[in-house]
Amino acid sequence: MKKRTLGTTGLEVTSMGLGCMGYGDAIERKDMIASIRAAFERGVTFFDTAEIYGPFTMEDVTGEALEPFREQVILATKFGMNIDSATGKMLGGVNSRPEQIKSAIEGQLRRLRTDYIDLYYQHRVDPNVPMEDVAGTIKQLMDEGKVRHFGLSEAGVDSIKKAHAELPVAALQSEYSLWTREPEQELFPTLEELGIGFVPFSPLGKGFLTGKIDENTKFDASDNRTKVPRFTQEALKANQSLIVGLKAIAERKGATPAQLSLAWILAKKDWIVPIFGTRRIDRLDENLAAESVHLTAEDMTELDRLSGGFEVTGARYSEAMLKMSGL
């Protein structure tokens, strides 16, 4: 796979990464391990997870999957949610106090079966902890060799600038896709100005942009999408017009809607590295093939117009998720 560099700190990763999140409690451990290792075999060396996924479950799964070739991959995880570091009990909201970060990372290193984390993201900005304290704590962990690069997730421009002034931020992670384009407005100029990479999660709109989901799709009760307003039956029906247009362009390009959606992101900026999640090998192969889809300037204009002229029905998070995340 081709390589890209995130930020000015020299963090080189593959052009796409695998998001190791899983949905709810229905994760099949062996399937997730198999998909992570299959991604590595196909050239992917960038893997992303978080303390809160489970909690703890996906860090443990990812650690087991990557242990045989740890030194050949870039491993990212996240801190900053209010979790009991000993038990994994969710306490609600965010927590980036220095003592919480230092406690969290010890468990994370153990679960991930490693001595260091390549990219350590603050999962959500904590309004009660000055960014100077957060960055200062990460700097200490870097000095100890436990962290190599600092990242932020779902942070706004002010928080990004404060963090970067204290410690170079290698990457910002946020949602971005053909139906979530808000980062273009304020974040992109700031990231470009400061030399910070961008790692979009949900580049396929949590599966919607694959063209395989409609108002008749039934989700398992443990699937997080059952709590997302965009995935109600009414919203899925209203949003299908975007898929109709996407499928038409994809057919003309000899690609699938998923491949076209990823290729569009890759063509936006050379410092953008999308991460997608899947436990299916056939979907993994389909998504990775997006790297070979060539989009002309005319194709990009057409896709921009299609998504830019479309008003998405439904919010990307529920009110409860927003409150829990501190957004």
Q: Which residues are catalytic?
A: 53
What is the C-alpha separation between 300 and 287, in angstroms, rounded?
19
What is the C-alpha separation between 266 and 272, in angstroms, rounded?
6
What is the C-alpha separation between 153 and 46, in angstroms, rounded?
16
What is the C-alpha separation between 40 and 18, in angstroms, rounded?
9
3-state helix vs strand vs coil in the chain, percent to 5: 45, 20, 35
Task: With CA atoms as reference, report the closest residue to 163 among 198, 132, 119.
Answer: 132
Kind and range of the H or E element at 78?
strand 74-79
Q: Around Cβ 67, how many Cβ atoms within 10 Å?
A: 11
- DSSP string spanning 138-192? HHHHHHTTSEEEEEEES--HHHHHHHHHHS-EEEEEEE-BTTB-GGGTTHHHHHH
What is the C-alpha separation between 228 and 236, in angstroms, rounded?
11
